[in-house]
Amino acid sequence: MASDNAVDALIKQLARLPGLGPRSSRRIVLHLVKRRQQQLDPLVAVLTEFQETVVSCKECGNVAIGDLCPICTSEERVANVICIVESVADLWALERSRMYKGLYHVLGGVLSAATGVGPEELGIPRLIERVQELQATEVILGLGATVEGQATAHYIAEQIQHCNATVTSLGRGIPMGGELDYLDSGTIAASLIGRRELT
Amino acid sequence: MASDNAVDALIKQLARLPGLGPRSSRRIVLHLVKRRQQQLDPLVAVLTEFQETVVSCKECGNVAIGDLCPICTSEERVANVICIVESVADLWALERSRMYKGLYHVLGGVLSAATGVGPEELGIPRLIERVQELQATEVILGLGATVEGQATAHYIAEQIQHCNATVTSLGRGIPMGGELDYLDSGTIAASLIGRRELT
């Protein structure tokens, strides 16, 4: 490489980001060299502000500026419905649907005997406290349809039993645009179980 | 989006980089939130250093720290051979081959009547001065095998005629791993013209 330390260091650091490798990092670095005012300067400014201000919401685990995230502080959200998700990415995915108006609780993972992630690591005791504090009427288990996601959902459902909240799970079935021919039998079976009468 | 300004601003800024879009930017931002010490802090540090120190080499146009790049200041490079390339990316590609020991000259583009890029914009007068100053014995035209790349190569060859330097062009032919069946006739023709006796 015909380059200096700051260049190599940036290429290496970028290559560690998800979806980027050495080749795409080199391309980005060359792009930034050529577009100093339009791209490099704003990127440094925005990234520094992000580094200095963005933290995890103390209530729900979403990204936040200050102690609480905009969802937890919003007065327009339904405060007695909580949706439990694995990650902030999942929270954002649900927000993009614009269908959900309640609060969230980000676990930051799923229970896993293999990697030693237990209820304490996921903060499930704190979650149960929160369900009680909010006097939640509904807890939606927004966890993935994976073995570990479902095991985590079952564990949480058991722990919440005594809280007087209805526990629900996201619907399962055929995704939008999905063709039956290309879907696995598990999804087809779930879609039959979850069938609804047309109104 | 359930997020704040600094988060959205970073997603938008990252999405403007080559190879990234809104989806991959979101993924990177979530990755950075979770790995503050391991990834976010070093990235900000390295990017800031890059912003503050990296410039274009005053001699050849490569990326540099200080006035001159490591190739121009190296005593191990052959100083009377110059390879003319379109971009820093091309310079890096040649360096990766570890076959070339001379100097470079980065044009920053190719001649193009359509976009109004003429010899002045590419700094060709300065290039000719440099060929004379270095008393170059060989000038390698390392430009792409495109119509505009070749037009630029021809123009430069004409301008250099009086400089007493041999003007060469990169070899054309079958790329490593290339199968004849899948190559275009232009490449096959070039490989025939450039055929060499086995030694």
The tens-digit pLDDT sequence of chain A (199 residues) is 444 588 999 999 999 999 999 999 999 999 998 898 999 999 999 999 999 999 999 999 999 988 999 999 999 999 999 999 999 998 998 888 888 999 999 999 999 988 899 999 999 999 999 999 999 999 999 888 888 988 999 999 999 988 889 999 888 888 888 777 778 888 887 887 777 766 6
Radius of gyration in angstroms for the set of CA atoms belonging to chain B, rounded to a whole number:
22
Asked if residues A194 and A173 have their Cβ atoms less than 8 Å apart, the reply is: yes
φ, ψ of residue A188 to 5 degrees: the values are: -60, -45
User: A92 and B47: CB-CB below 8 Å?
Assistant: no
Q: Distance from A15 to chain B by nearest Cα, in Å? A: 11
Of A6, A16, A63, the CB nearest to B3: A63
Instruction: Give the count of beta carbons closer than 10 Å to the beta carbon of residue A133.
Output: 9
User: A39 and B27: CB-CB below 8 Å?
Assistant: no
Instruction: Provide the sign of the torsion angle of the four alpha carbons A86, A87, A93, A98, taken in this order.
Output: positive
Rounded to two decimals, the ipTM of the complex is 0.72
CA distance A126 to A132: 10
Write out chain A residues lying below 8 Å of B39, CB-based. Answer: 13, 16-17
The structure's pTM equals 0.74
Write out chain A residues lying below 8 Å of B59, CB-based. Answer: none
Of A20, A24, A65, the CB nearest to B4: A65
Mutation choice for B interface testing from A32, A51, A52, A85 by most B CBs within 10 A: A51
